Amino acid sequence: MHHTIQSISSETLSEQMHGTIQTTRRHRLYDPDRLQETIDEHKEIYIAIASGDGIFANQLMEKHITKVRRELSESLLSHIGEEQN
């Protein structure tokens, strides 16, 4: 048990983010509509940061992350359903 907890806790935030980003890229960037949507969302976040509006940038980032999580969850659930058929 302690070994499991140690191995989980030794994974850095950067490593966790890297895995999530890789999965997200596979999901969002190979669909032309989602690709453009992702570019637009990142551009909005960048503009908010560049203009010094940290609060708005944070709101946009939270919205983006929530959307991506929802899409990944829905995609995973749809694939689970396909495997059962």
Q: Report how far residue 33's alpha carbon sits from residue 44's, in angstroms, rounded to the nearest whole number.
A: 17
Q: What is the mean pLDDT of residues 56-76?
A: 86
What b/e sequence results for 69-84 when a residue is b if at least 16 CB atoms lie within 10 Å of its CB, and e otherwise?
A: eeebeeeeeeeeeeee
What confidence score (pLDDT) does residue 10 get? 56
What confidence score (pLDDT) does residue 51 get? 96
* Model confidence pTM above 0.85: no
For 34, the enclosing helix (H) or strand (E) is helix 32-50
- Work out the pLDDT band at 57, boundaries 50, 70, 90: very high
- Establish how many alpha carbons lie within 13 A of residue 26's alpha carbon, considering only the half-sphere containing its beta carbon: 8
Dump pLDDT digits (tens) for 29-45.
Answer: 777 888 888 899 999 99
- Work out the pLDDT band at 13, boundaries 50, 70, 90: low
Angle between helices 54-84 and 13-28 (to 10 degrees): 70
